Structure 1
Amino acid sequence: MKNGGSLRDRVVKHFFNISGDFDEYKRQETNRIGTNVMLLCLPALLIPSIIAGVWATKSPENALLGLIFFNIIFVGIIICPYLMTASRRAHLTDNEVDIRNLPAARKNILKRVLGSSLYGFVFFYLMQVILNSIFDNTSFVGGLTSLRNIKTAVLTGILLGITMGITN
């Protein structure tokens, strides 16, 4: 890839966390992975939408919530892990580290682990508060100050950070 490259190349390179040049092999692999993801998403867009349309005749609110949660779970449990494993198998995310750069690489991984932990804490904390307020009819402010929600979110953030540390 030349100095700037096209916007598409920069976005794809950032999305797949590709280091180094974006050569023809990496371009073909990202296109293959993207095609597979698109083929996974086609039935996941059509079938749940039809089910939600039929379900909406009896309970529109529940149908909408069901469709939203299906999409979130589908992306989080099927698409994202597939993207990570396919990128790793294609060696798109391989980073060669020289022995002299090892302390800087460890520091970079520690930053990513801490960032992932913080992200996991905030995301799961807010998601838990929102879901509790929707489904359990609890107070939103009461959920924000709940010690149980905070403990669960801290544990989730720690587990996500450890997982990210292992995979990096």
Structure 2
Amino acid sequence: MVKETFTDKLIKRFYGITGPLDEQKRQQVDRMGNKAFIVLFFTLLFGNCIAFLLSFKYPELVARVYPILLLIIIWVVGSILTYKFKMSAVNAIDEEELTEKEQKQLKHVGLKSGLYFGISMFLGMPLVQFLVDHKDYFTELFSIRNMLSGIFDAILFGAIMQGWVNARIKQAKSQTDKDDQ
């Protein structure tokens, strides 16, 4: 058995691929990733040129609008990429191809991701308040509002992630049932 390289692990994690990264999945990932890279590269190239030229006359407008436009463009490209992967079933979860370690990781993925997200929000939001409003970090950290917000964020995010993984498993099962018929 060939040991997975760090790059393969990153590719699998980024695109949500479970099981082995075989030649077909690698080709589809490379093809779609290259298309997304080309779109984003030229968007940044021309967008930066336009922003540079407009910044002399409208610096405040460029500072406010340009990051928002980039965020929207990146979100659209990411959504299209996610849709294409869903249609090609590259990242569908096939329980038969999973190792024991991957099956254990999928068992409570919502709980784990919710816990990590909740802790990061619990620690991160007072930092934002400290940097933006110059409020005391520890006072904001241990405030009731921050604690309740962290718990709510963890529960909501964990439930969404668990539902998403369950939907992917259900989709893979229906796809295999459809292929068997």
**TM class by smaller structure:** 0.5 to 0.7
* Deviation by residue 1:81-112 (Cα, 9 ceiling, x = unmatched): 555444333212222336xxxxx95x644421
Describe the SS at the equivalent of 2:108: helix
TM-score (normalised: structure 1): 0.66
Q: CA deviation at 1:32?
A: 2.2
Partner of 1:137: 134
- Which amino acid in structure 2 is aligned with residue 15 of structure 1? F
Q: CA deviation at 1:167?
A: 0.8
* Deviation by residue 1:56-99 (Cα, 9 ceiling, x = unmatched): xx79xxx6xx98x769956995566555444333212222336x
Structure 1 Cα separation of the partners of residues 90 and 32 of structure 2? 11
Structure 2 Cα separation of the partners of residues 13 and 118 of structure 1? 22
Structure 1 Cα separation of the partners of residues 86 and 33 of structure 2? 14
Partner of 2:7: 8
TM-score (normalised: structure 2): 0.63
Higher relative contact order (CA 8 A, sep 6+): 2
Structure 1 Cα separation of the partners of residues 162 and 33 of structure 2? 26
Describe the SS at the equivalent of 2:3: coil
Quick one: structure 1 residues 10 and 97, their matched pair in 2 at CA, closer, same or farther if it must change by over 3 Å? closer
Percent identity between matched residues is 21
Aligned counterparts, 1:1-168, within 5 A: 3-4=2-3, 6-42=5-41, 45-46=44-45, 47=47, 51=51, 54=55, 77-78=75-76, 81=79, 84-97=82-95, 108-168=105-165
* 2:130–2:136 contact (8 Å) kept in structure 1: yes
| Structure 1: gaps (5+ residues) | 99-103
Higher Rg: 2
